[in-house]
């Protein structure tokens, strides 16, 4: 039991480490410059844009070496500081998430309840009819294995 638990904890810690690392790597190495995009929304002189660009580089710590940015990211994460939003500057990311959570809950709770009720009713109906169950089960396996974003696009295409 102890060996199993230790193995699971190590797997969870490694998964957390790699997920956070990927979360840090993607915005830094993807093409484009988020600060230039932020500044492109405002019409201003070149000198002012250069000053703001340097200011934002300091605010987001992009002027530091990559290894230092990575270490600072981990320290901030463990302190609970998710940073400043680039898109909604100068709002903290935590505040942006906090404003969005009630709407997410408002959408998710009815969807979960509806899917649970419909799934139980449909499952009971399919269980009574063996032929229907043998037909629907393989189709349902394909639907559940399909990533949700693809399924959403497919459903929008079919019903749109």
Q: Token digits for 104?
A: 């997410």
pLDDT by residue (tens digit) across 30-83?
888 878 877 777 767 777 788 888 888 888 888 888 899 999 999 989 998 888
pLDDT confidence of residue 6: 94
| Residue at a domain's end among 88, 112, 145 | 88
Q: Within a domain: residue 27?
A: yes
Q: Within a domain: residue 44?
A: yes
- Helices of type H across 1-147: 2-29, 34-40, 46-59, 66-79, 93-128, 130-145
Instruction: Please state the domain count of the chain.
Output: 2
Task: Answer yes or no: do 17 and 81 share one domain.
Answer: yes
Q: Within a domain: residue 147?
A: yes
Q: Within a domain: residue 97?
A: no
pLDDT by residue (tens digit) across 100-153?
999 999 999 999 999 999 989 988 888 888 888 788 888 888 888 888 888 888
Contact 84, 90 (CB under 8 A): yes
| Residue 71, domain extent | 2-88
CA distance to 52, 111, 136, 153, 154, per residue, from 159 (Å): 47, 18, 20, 10, 9
Q: Is the full-model pTM beyond 0.75? A: no
| Residue at a domain's end among 88, 116, 146 | 88
Q: Within a domain: residue 77?
A: yes
């Amino acid at each position: 039991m102890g060996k199993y638990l230790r193995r699971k904890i190590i797997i969870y810690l490694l998964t957390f480490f790699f997920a956070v690392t990927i979360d840090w790597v993607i915005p830094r190495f993807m093409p484009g410059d988020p600060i230039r995009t932020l500044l492109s929304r405002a019409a201003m002189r070149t000198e002012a844009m250069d000053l703001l660009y340097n200011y934002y580089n300091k605010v987001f710590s992009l002027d530091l070496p990559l290894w230092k940015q990575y270490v600072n990211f981990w320290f901030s994460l463990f302190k609970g500081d998710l940073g400043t939003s680039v898109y909604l500057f100068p709002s903290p990311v935590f505040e942006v998430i906090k404003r969005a959570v009630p709407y997410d809950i408002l959408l998710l709770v009815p969807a979960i309840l509806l899917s649970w009720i419909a799934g139980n009713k449909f499952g009971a109906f399919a269980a009574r009819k063996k032929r229907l169950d043998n037909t629907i089960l393989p189709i349902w396996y394909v639907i559940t294995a399909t990533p949700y974003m693809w399924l959403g696009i497919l459903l929008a295409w079919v019903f749109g």
